[in-house]
Amino acid sequence: AVQLVESGGGSVQAGGSLRLSCAAFGSYFPPCMGWFRQAPGKEREGVASINTSWGDGDYADSVKGRFTISRDNAKSTLYLQMNGLKPEDTAIYYCAAHNTYCSDRAWSGAADFRYWGQGTQVTVSS
């Protein structure tokens, strides 16, 4: 089993930046990890995903060019650098992982992710 713990959320003004971290605790660093978010009254949506052994991130159109997903395998930690934040980015952000390699657009398939963190709040004011 894998336990995921997010950190780094907070409140910023529009145009600002935040970096979220997700530490993975367990016997291995999961091969596919992603970030999801859920705003009040809205369904959970995928943000980005990455294979932890290789490759660049894969992003939802809504964040492409502003957010960057990355990982530090030595620290078993996943990151989400968020730049150019907008009020519509306000949500609880969740880290998730599953035990097979990411397919294309893995972030669009939340049901495939087995392990989830507790979430961290990101609030962007205008």
| pLDDT category of residue 54 using cuts at 50, 70 and 90 | confident
Mean pLDDT of 84-96: 98
- What's the full length of the chain, in residues? 126
Instruction: Tell me the pLDDT of the chain averaged across its residues.
Output: 95
Whether the pLDDT of residue 35 is over 80: the answer is yes
| pLDDT category of residue 56 using cuts at 50, 70 and 90 | confident
